[in-house]
């Protein structure tokens, strides 16, 4: 067990948790990329190759940051698997995109993690479909397995929204340096549950171990949520605003939505 003074992930309340600030949109430069997908024994990790550098700026960021990794968190049940909670509700999974600014000493390096919640649906997000289709995901069944993916567009991973929540904290794995900015996108992306090829089920069949060891599912690879304490939570979501984008002309609400057993995946 490890602890940090400003530990994410957090659980949020819809009604009163953030300070509204007109923060700018996030910007993606050179979104086309290739990379290698790994079974690390803890996560599904996609690491971009050096020939296709993806930079992200704007939003709450004062500098441009380079994409280092895309990491999947997911649960053994649809009711949990995301690192963050909304009104105490968990979601099947969460996609974390980790960016860093170099050159800096590791203990001072600012990490940006933008998280996207996963929602179950009949149709899958285009980027996740490349990662989780049958031909790809079955190549990394066991720890240390790796598979090369090319022709990806990181912009496909972002849902169609410019709204987000952001706060300062630490990364959720050792050495959990307290130099992270978390950005949570206000819409989900989608993975399939039972139609054609069950992508969530295929994730739960990935093993933490090598093939010659007993099978242990990689599921539930998240850290428990931590208390909010005195953190300043900022957002460009204007909850008091009314308009045509709001159902029944009501105040704008966070758009993590599910259907039936469906659940949401969001961005950090």
Q: What is the pLDDT of residues 114-167, one digit of tens each?
A: 878 787 877 778 899 899 988 999 999 999 999 999 999 998 988 877 888 898
User: What's the CA angle centered on 30, arms 27 and 32, to 5 degrees?
Assistant: 120
> For the purposes of burial, counting CB atoms within 10 Å of the CB of 230, is it exposed (0-12), middle (13-18) or buried (19 or more)?
exposed
Whether the per-residue pLDDT at 8 is higher than 80: the answer is: no
CATH 3.10.200.10 holds for 11-266: yes
Euclidean distance between CA atoms 76 and 80, whole angstroms:
7
Q: What is the pLDDT of residues 53-100, one digit of tens each?
A: 899 899 888 888 899 999 999 999 888 888 888 777 788 888 887 877
* Side-chain half-sphere CA neighbours of 227 within 13 A: 3
């Amino acid at each position: 067990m490890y602890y940090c003074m400003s530990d994410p992930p957090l659980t949020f309340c819809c009604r009163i948790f953030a300070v509204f600030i007109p923060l700018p949109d996030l910007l993606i430069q050179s979104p086309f990329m290739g990379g290698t997908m790994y079974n690390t024994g803890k996560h599904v990790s996609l690491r971009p190759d050096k020939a296709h550098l993806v930079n992200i700026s704007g939003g709450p960021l004062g500098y441009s940051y380079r994409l280092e990794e895309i990491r999947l968190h997911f649960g053994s049940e649809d009711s949990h698997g995301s690192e963050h909670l909304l009104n105490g509700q968990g979601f099947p999974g969460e996609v974390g995109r980790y960016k860093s600014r170099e050159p800096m000493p590791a203990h001072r390096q600012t990490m940006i993690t933008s998280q996207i919640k996963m929602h179950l649906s009949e149709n899958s997000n285009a980027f996740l479909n490349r990662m989780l289709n049958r031909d790809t995901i079955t190549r990394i069944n066991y720890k240390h397995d790796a598979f090369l993916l090319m022709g990806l567009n990181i912009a496909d991973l972002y849902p169609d929204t410019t709204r987000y929540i952001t706060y300062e904290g630490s990364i959720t794995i050792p050495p959990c340096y307290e130099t992270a900015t978390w950005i949570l996108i206000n819409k989900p992306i989608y993975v399939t549950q039972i139609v054609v090829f069950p992508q969530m089920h295929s994730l739960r069949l990935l093993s933490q171990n090598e093939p010659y060891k007993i099978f242990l599912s990689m599921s539930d690879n998240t850290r428990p949520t931590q208390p909010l304490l005195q953190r300043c939570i900022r957002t460009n979501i204007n909850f008091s605003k009314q308009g045509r984008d709001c159902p029944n002309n009501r105040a704008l609400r966070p758009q993590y939505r599910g259907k039936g057993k469906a659940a949401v995946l969001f961005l950090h």
